[in-house]
Structure 1
């Protein structure tokens, strides 16, 4: 137990649910999301003296996203990913059905593109903030977002995927 354990515990209590949502969106599975968050919080705790003075949330988000991408790459090496077929449900079903369709489409994206979509449109971060979390340039965020949105539009048959994501999230 360190001198600022109360500060870390307060941070986790205040932001844990939001961070778990980011983890879920980054990987698409409840158990994996909990594991991702636990890994990120463990790493953050070890560096708490250094990161607590700034806003630690972007630090934790970056760990979540990078860990999700690394795990997806390792899994891709071990097996061939099945191809995704567009959902047969029309996009304008109930909110619950729409959420499932959207989650399936997000899972079909490559990890980096999924991370960009989650951070830019679900978490509503700017290009600069997203680039900082992912450790890349704003141009990379723009190109990855463009590619991801094109794939989502194709899979969902929707004109405005950005609005759809925000509406499902609300």
Structure 2
């Protein structure tokens, strides 16, 4: 298989899941598409060396998270604090509203915390997998997840019953093996 065909096969197999990850990281469809495109452009330029890697999907995800964090550092925060939080005139059982609330709360986490939450709980990866993808220690993943979950609870208390417990042993590395 030639270089272009093998790259196209990789993109065809992983594009949807990579785009979903990009959207969960950025929170915006167009920025997610831009992020995915920038990662794929980087990968095709290095494809002759990359196609020998055993787990290209993990490589692409790690590249995406690093690229996203790099973008966030350069861009700064576009968040503007408000003295008057919006009134909550909805039922907390409304799942569509809860998704919006979760999305807004995720956007207020630091880029690294958001990456840990998305990889750890949305993609249901082990702490070791997340640490490998982010290039950090398992302890860092645990502390980032703990702080991010605590922040999510304070930003959106209505989500608390649906979030993993801060000390949930079923979510720990040992329980997953």
TM-score (norm 1): 0.84
Look at both structures and tell me which one has the larger radius of gyration over its CA atoms. Answer: 2
CA 1:4 to 1:104, structure 2 compared with 1: closer, same or farther past 3 Å?
same
TM-score (norm 2): 0.81
Which residue matches 2:72? 72
Q: Counterparts of 1:26 and 1:86 in 2: how far apart (Å)? A: 24
Which residue matches 2:60? 60
Give structure 2 stretches of 5+ with no counterpart.
166-177
Which residue matches 1:159? 161
Which residue matches 1:114? 114
Deviation sequence 1:6-48 (CA, Å, 0-9, x none): 1111111111011001001111111110000001111111222
Residue pair 1:87, 1:155 contacting (<8 A) in 2 also: no
Q: Counterparts of 1:68 and 1:43 in 2: how far apart (Å)? A: 13
Q: With a CA cutoff of 8 Å and minimum separation of 6, indicate the structure with the bigger relative contact order.
A: 1
Q: 1:98, CA displacement in angstroms? A: 1.8
- Deviating above 4 A after TM superposition, structure 1's stretches of 4 or more consecutive aligned residues are 84-87
Report the count of equivalent residues.
159
Q: Counterparts of 2:6 and 2:87 in 1: how far apart (Å)? A: 45
Give structure 1 stretches of 5+ with no counterpart.
164-170
Corresponding position: 1:82 with 2:101: no
Deviation sequence 1:92-140 (CA, Å, 0-9, x none): 21x3222111111100101010000010011111111111111111110
Q: Counterparts of 2:87 and 2:42 in 1: how far apart (Å)? A: 37
Which residue matches 2:32? 33
- Greater shift, 17-26 or 153-162, is seen at 153-162
Alignment of 1:3-22 (within 5 A): 3-22=2-21
SS at match of 1:119: helix
Residue pair 1:91, 1:156 contacting (<8 A) in 2 also: no
